[in-house]
Amino acid sequence: MRHFGLVLILTVVFFSTAWAADDPLTLESNRNAIELVQTHADYVWTLVAAVLVFFMQAGFAMVEAGFTRAKNAVNIMMKNLMDFSIGSLGYWAIGFGLMFGVSASGWFGTTGFFLGDFTPDGDPWVLAFWMFQVVFAATAATIVSGAMAERTKFSGYLVYSIVISALIYPIFGSWAWGSLYKGGGWLEGLGFIDFAGSTVVHSVGGWAALAGAIVLGPRMGKYTRDGGIRPILGHNMPMAALGVFILWVGWFGFNPGSTTAASKDIAMIFVNTNLAAAAGAVLAMTTSWIKFGKPEVGMSLNGALAGLVAITSPCATVSPLSSVVIGAVAGVLVVLSVLFFDKIKIDDPVGAISVHGVNGAWGTLAAGIFNMGGTSLSIIGVQILGIMACFAWTFTTAFVMFKLIAATIGLRVSAEEELAGLDISEHGGNAYPDFEVISYGTGMGAVGIPIPGPANAAGGPIMASASPAEQA
Amino acid sequence: MRHFGLVLILTVVFFSTAWAADDPLTLESNRNAIELVQTHADYVWTLVAAVLVFFMQAGFAMVEAGFTRAKNAVNIMMKNLMDFSIGSLGYWAIGFGLMFGVSASGWFGTTGFFLGDFTPDGDPWVLAFWMFQVVFAATAATIVSGAMAERTKFSGYLVYSIVISALIYPIFGSWAWGSLYKGGGWLEGLGFIDFAGSTVVHSVGGWAALAGAIVLGPRMGKYTRDGGIRPILGHNMPMAALGVFILWVGWFGFNPGSTTAASKDIAMIFVNTNLAAAAGAVLAMTTSWIKFGKPEVGMSLNGALAGLVAITSPCATVSPLSSVVIGAVAGVLVVLSVLFFDKIKIDDPVGAISVHGVNGAWGTLAAGIFNMGGTSLSIIGVQILGIMACFAWTFTTAFVMFKLIAATIGLRVSAEEELAGLDISEHGGNAYPDFEVISYGTGMGAVGIPIPGPANAAGGPIMASASPAEQA
Amino acid sequence: MRHFGLVLILTVVFFSTAWAADDPLTLESNRNAIELVQTHADYVWTLVAAVLVFFMQAGFAMVEAGFTRAKNAVNIMMKNLMDFSIGSLGYWAIGFGLMFGVSASGWFGTTGFFLGDFTPDGDPWVLAFWMFQVVFAATAATIVSGAMAERTKFSGYLVYSIVISALIYPIFGSWAWGSLYKGGGWLEGLGFIDFAGSTVVHSVGGWAALAGAIVLGPRMGKYTRDGGIRPILGHNMPMAALGVFILWVGWFGFNPGSTTAASKDIAMIFVNTNLAAAAGAVLAMTTSWIKFGKPEVGMSLNGALAGLVAITSPCATVSPLSSVVIGAVAGVLVVLSVLFFDKIKIDDPVGAISVHGVNGAWGTLAAGIFNMGGTSLSIIGVQILGIMACFAWTFTTAFVMFKLIAATIGLRVSAEEELAGLDISEHGGNAYPDFEVISYGTGMGAVGIPIPGPANAAGGPIMASASPAEQA
């Protein structure tokens, strides 16, 4: 244990390793020393990867704010900050224990709350592992924020944020990723492959987002009474693009970091992650070009994310060539899926359901289909079972939770608050006081059909359109 | 010595380590090889951590610009760029030698200027260590920028920036963190605990910020003649939030990187750092909600930073549970402190004094109170002594320096320049030429009391309010 | 000592290390284990460095968008996203094989396309190395984007992007950095020093940018018929500054990561990289202050980048003091070069030719002049030969390619599209729908002569100025 001060810091460099000084020089002591150095490298890699995954919080905040309107940008920052902050405390107090605690049943853990009884022997590995896991939990929570943007009551959102971090996510996680000291999840026991969490993290977020979007209903003015779809423009495309680049950076922690070990295996995971993202972006751009006549930026950005989500499950067990195929399919799928959810009038301002839910499922299936170790109907069947179990658990519990919130403290702001923007109504401020925000209107959105010119002249019609109550 | 080319690069992988080729295989040579691999891991970890801390410069730039007005955003970018650039050169030429050079007296080092006589044996560790330290020095410098924003003359600021990086920061640093080859700081000798610099870095920045804000006086229009406080709105909240996320990322280098060794110890430091930040954000949000009736974004963001500053000193020597408590207290404290400094009319546009000065002191005290190795009045007494020594040294020298700058080349721009904005008056450009900046006015600020609506109609009154001379 | 999570994760942790279980304890087996741990550290370092370099894509996007007008920001995001996405696929399919495949001739490789026949023995190192190289290839591609901003047809740009990633960059790269399994590049054979790619990456990008800017011709309104130069304002200076900070972060992967090994050597490379960037920023600021009467932000930011580009080649083979000199010269050079290209009416909206082309050449020359191992006319001569070979190859091939694109699918948008902005004309959207974009005009740009006030009243003259056809 070393602390501070340069003299001590210098000491660290030369004597921090356990074999110092009076350690006798034997084959065994050398072997132990080698294993200790490897362990140090494992800590460094796992925790650096955790930093990259943490950075994804910034990426989600930028993507979500960029794809929505200026009048709700403060609210989005607050939601993302609190997803991680409250989520960290909830996952520390409850979630981690449920997910990785001792589980006799295989359905959830019952020890390790508050990191309490995890380290009887003082091994700090559990702390490194917690750090890597808490950033995953926060990712699942933050995914939902985008689909519920621009109309959710902040206090209701905070309740959701605690529940997903402390209960919904960890319990499903315990099924697929097992428990820390003994026992294991039932899905894991069947051979379910989800290396870094296409299902465990992204589909959980995506299906909770679907439940949230359904319970909330669409934003005012999004769907007209005569069946029309009115795209609502995102307010800052460079911000959204920065967010996607940051998320891409973060995924280089998310996927290869899931080895939680410094090993040669991370190389292929890096390459696969990168190729799938690239293929997703290119194919989504191409699809949008064909569908809309122009290469659309929102779709292209979401295409990269779709590729990343899809490769998350299979990244360690498929070839680079397969990764290109998996990402390419994801890029097409995300465009079609966004259009589909718009058609059935489920309003998802950023495309989170399509990116994380649908492509999380696709990636999990792909892990079975493209498995380098060989595939079979039984392998694919287990993958499908995992996908279905995730949907059933997450959608059901999230739907019930959102209905309960709506019935008690309230889940949606009033029509007046929604029109004014959540920044002013929920937080008493606004994001850009030095600039006049002229639109608050509708038009081509981050995920929508391009239209030939600015479409900001629709203040009246929005006001006149269906109220949230009518729409929901 | 290797260069380029794949054949050579491949060679690197297998033969870069010192035991290659003709190294005889013995227990000793194996042990030496093990120590070399550990050393390589130490270099990688320390330098990756340095990259994370460097990234904090971007975080500070975004927070500071986001929390201030659009008309000063170019100036803030220039200050942050130059803090690091001039600071790097000054710390290389002078600061590092003062801080870590041989010190017979215990008050400052006298060798190692220009990295000159540090590596007689050619060991490059001093270069890795310099890299880690220079990003710390730049952090201290940049903290001050925020408190002096929107009214400081650029040339005067550059002089300050050199002096803090080359003199004020390194000399205090030498007291607490000692010297590189022999001797050591007097505070360190007493057992002062400041693992990663709540006092050494953050309080130095915070107390210099206090001196700067006092010498400068408040921004025009901030305090009215009848005793009123007029919040001045920050111009971009998503930018500020991005900055906070980046700073949080950077702190994962700042705190665990202070081990300067790849070891198991970094795990607990990561967890503590994260929990304190989370608790700070949650409690600051809650406090702002109670105080103002709404959860305020500027306070919540500063709450995360306050938690990070507070845990910087104790991060290696307290438990995760204590870290939650330390961060929670910091979250409350930062809100109260911001209101206090506003009440006594010390104008700190971004809350830097409260975040870094006050919470730096709180964290240093907390390191004594919550010390896992046990605490005592004497331990706490030394912590208080260190806090007081830091305030006495930093505030005094910074105050004198700012007064000298004000009396010679000038520290504050003219009233006309302040109204026009520093971007146009000091740099001949503006940050957002394609947009009309409508406000330049006052209203709810990043750190201030929320008011119900945009408050941009105050051009006249600002003009009419007390001139800087009257206010100072 | 870890045991939770995925079955696969478990596998990795327990069996990734070669000495597990039944490995007999001998001097040889211990040595093998040591080498394996070193290899793991090499993988971690190389791939973390690759993440940092990947992040540069975000930096380039922010710099380029910040230095250009709001009406083209979506287009810039799309170009940067596609540079990396299409570039990744092109470099995977073709480029990497050309650059590092077996090369009997020394002029290009002929194996390893699609990563196909590189790993007969299953060693995943080639995957780690590919990952590090693909982010370099994308950097070269993205440099060009800035010089061709605000007037290039998107479909034509995509063709360029594929060609540089798959052909122009890799072929020159094979000359200087050799081939993977046998043979080597002819420049490399002569002793050409370009450690991390001042020439191989940055000058290739810079000279291709020059060719592109010449073939395209200047933006409408940039140069008037009476010989005047009209600066065109960048629309977001904090965004540009964020981009430069991100690029600086990325360079800490770019330069020290080029060791592709966890070694002590990275320390000096870090220090040199940082000092050159700092000196570049300070000297560019000073030069702009002298030339224009005010310290200009665009020049200062480009000064940091110029220092970084210049130190890229010599970073491993010069002293810290030399690095300060190299960076300082780069800082002066970039200002003079930007003014020079403006004078000869080559319109480079972001200064890419000066930053990457000119300073890439300067850095490569400096690697010969300041070489710590001693210098000579012959060493310097080889450096000059390399610089000239790069210019001859890149400028010629890029010029021909751009001319072919212009003659077939078209390289430049119509005058109407250029005036409307590429966002709406090429992508059917715009970057900031919630804000009124008032200028689209001309004035002091990111790289230009400061003028005293906003200069947005020039809508008419722009319209009336020379058409692209007249100018080209």
Q: Note whether A281 contacts C236, CB cutoff 8 Å.
A: no
C-alpha distances out from residue B3 to A363, C316, C369, C455, Å:
40, 8, 16, 49
CA angle C28/C32/C35 to nearest 5° reads: 140
Helices and strands in chain A, H and E counts:
20, 0
Question: Out of B118-132, C43-57, C359-373, which region has the weakest mean confidence (pLDDT)?
Answer: B118-132
C30 pLDDT above the threshold of 60: yes
Percent of chain C with pLDDT over 90: 79
A22 pLDDT above the threshold of 70: no
Q: What is the pLDDT of residues A404-463, one digit of tens each?
A: 999 999 999 999 999 999 999 999 999 999 998 875 444 333 333 333 333 333 332 333
How high is the pLDDT of residue C107?
Answer: 86
Q: What is the average per-residue pLDDT within C65-92? A: 97
Interface residue of A10, A81, A419 to substitute, partner B, most B CBs within 10 Å: A81
Q: Note whether B41 contacts A37, CB cutoff 8 Å.
A: yes
What span, in angstroms and rounded, lies between the C-alpha atoms of C445 and A75?
Answer: 34
**C5 against A102, higher pLDDT:** A102
What span, in angstroms and rounded, lies between the C-alpha atoms of C370 and C153?
Answer: 43
Chain C closest CA to B70's CA: distance in Å? 10
What span, in angstroms and rounded, lies between the C-alpha atoms of A362 and A307?
Answer: 10
Residue A264 gets which letter from DSSP?
T
What span, in angstroms and rounded, lies between the C-alpha atoms of C242 and B57?
Answer: 9
What span, in angstroms and rounded, lies between the C-alpha atoms of B312 and B296?
Answer: 25
Question: Out of A57-71, A324-338, B55-69, C453-467, which region has the weakest mean confidence (pLDDT)?
Answer: C453-467
Q: Cβ(C262)–Cβ(B44) under 8 Å?
A: yes
Q: Note whether B297 contacts A74, CB cutoff 8 Å.
A: yes
How high is the pLDDT of residue A454?
Answer: 34
How high is the pLDDT of residue A119?
Answer: 57
Partner residues linked to C412 by β-bridges? C152
B/C interface, count of CB pairs below 8 Å:
266
Residue among C211, C223, C218 at smallest CA distance from C397: C211
Residue C400 makes CB contacts below 8 A (sequence gap 6+) with none
| Chain A contacts in chain C segment 246-275 (CB below 8 A) | none
Q: Note whether C6 contacts A262, CB cutoff 8 Å.
A: no
Chain A closest CA to C405's CA: distance in Å? 19
The tally of CA atoms less than 13 A away on the side-chain side of residue C36 is 21
Q: Is the dihedral of CA A187, A193, A197, A199 positive or negative?
A: negative
How high is the pLDDT of residue A20?
Answer: 53
Helix B27-66, helix B237-254: angle, nearest 10: 160
C-alpha distances out from residue C464 to A433, C225, C415, C422, C460, Å:
36, 10, 11, 19, 6
Q: What is the pLDDT of chain A when averaged over all its residues?
A: 88
Chain A closest CA to B329's CA: distance in Å? 15
B contacts of A77 (beta carbons < 8 Å): 237-238, 240-241, 297, 301
Q: Cβ(B349)–Cβ(B67) under 8 Å?
A: yes
C contacts of B87 (beta carbons < 8 Å): 278
Residue among B217, B64, B74 at smallest CA distance from B141: B64
A contacts of B248 (beta carbons < 8 Å): 54
What span, in angstroms and rounded, lies between the C-alpha atoms of C211 and B362?
Answer: 59
What is the residue-level pLDDT of chain B in tens, covering all 472 positions? Answer: 222 333 333 333 333 445 555 678 999 999 999 999 999 999 999 999 999 999 999 999 999 999 999 999 999 999 999 999 999 999 999 999 999 988 877 789 988 899 986 654 678 999 999 999 999 999 999 999 999 999 999 999 999 999 999 999 999 999 999 766 556 789 988 999 999 999 999 999 999 999 999 999 999 999 988 889 998 999 999 999 999 999 999 999 999 999 999 999 999 999 999 999 999 999 999 999 999 999 999 999 999 999 999 999 999 999 999 999 999 999 999 999 999 999 999 999 999 999 999 999 999 999 999 999 999 999 999 999 999 999 999 999 999 999 999 999 999 999 999 999 999 999 999 999 999 887 544 433 333 333 333 333 333 233 323 333 333 3
What are the backbone angles phi and psi of residue B444, rounded to the nearest 5°? -70, 125
Q: What is the pLDDT of residues A160-193, one digit of tens each?
A: 999 999 999 999 999 999 766 556 789 988 999 9
**A195 against A3, higher pLDDT:** A195
C contacts of B429 (beta carbons < 8 Å): 233, 237, 296-298, 444, 450
C461 pLDDT above the threshold of 80: no
Q: Note whether C265 contacts B124, CB cutoff 8 Å.
A: yes
Percent of chain A with pLDDT over 90: 79
Q: Note whether C195 contacts B3, CB cutoff 8 Å.
A: yes
Residue C113 gets which letter from DSSP?
G
Instruction: Report long-range pairs for B285-291 (Cβ below 8 Å, ≥24 apart).
Output: B285/A78, B285/A82, B285/B331, B286/B331, B287/B331, B287/B332, B287/B335, B287/B336, B288/B335, B291/B335, B291/B339
How high is the pLDDT of residue B185?
Answer: 85
What are the backbone angles phi and psi of residue B273, rounded to the nearest 5°? -60, -45
Q: Cβ(A195)–Cβ(A251) under 8 Å?
A: no
Helix B73-90, helix B27-66: angle, nearest 10: 150
Q: Note whether C12 contacts A125, CB cutoff 8 Å.
A: no
Q: What is the average per-residue pLDDT within A55-71? A: 98
A464 pLDDT above the threshold of 50: no
Chain C closest CA to A403's CA: distance in Å? 32
DSSP string, B369-401: HT-TT---HHHHHHHHHHHHHHHHHHHHHHHHH
How high is the pLDDT of residue A467?
Answer: 37
Q: Cβ(A410)–Cβ(A156) under 8 Å?
A: yes
| Chain A contacts in chain C segment 100-139 (CB below 8 A) | 114-115, 124-125, 127-128, 130-131, 134
Q: Note whether C47 contacts A242, CB cutoff 8 Å.
A: no
Q: How many CB atoms lie within 10 A of CB C427?
A: 29
Partner residues linked to C152 by β-bridges? C412
What span, in angstroms and rounded, lies between the C-alpha atoms of C315 and C367?
Answer: 8
Q: Note whether B279 contacts A85, CB cutoff 8 Å.
A: yes
Q: Is C339 on the interface with A (CB under 8 A)?
A: no
Partner residues linked to B52 by β-bridges? none
What span, in angstroms and rounded, lies between the C-alpha atoms of A274 and A271?
Answer: 5
Report the C-alpha dihedral over residues C204, C208, C209, C213, rounded to 10 degrees: 160
3-state secondary structure of C103: strand
Q: What is the pLDDT of residues C434-450, one digit of tens each?
A: 998 875 444 333 333 33
C-alpha distances out from residue C426 to A289, B255, C429, C467, Å:
11, 47, 8, 19
The owner of tokens 């050799």 is C178
Q: What is the pTM of this model?
A: 0.92
Q: What is the pLDDT of chain C when averaged over all its residues?
A: 88
Q: Cβ(A27)–Cβ(A13) under 8 Å?
A: no
Q: Note whether A294 contacts C236, CB cutoff 8 Å.
A: no
Q: Note whether B127 contacts C268, CB cutoff 8 Å.
A: yes
C contacts of B77 (beta carbons < 8 Å): 237-238, 240-241, 297, 301
How high is the pLDDT of residue C213?
Answer: 98
Q: How confident is the model at residue C181 (pLDDT cuts 50, 70, 90)?
A: low
How far is C-alpha B189 from the chain's CA centre? Answer: 25
Interface residue of C28, C63, C269, C297 to substitute, partner B, most B CBs within 10 Å: C297
Q: How confident is the model at residue C118 (pLDDT cuts 50, 70, 90)?
A: low
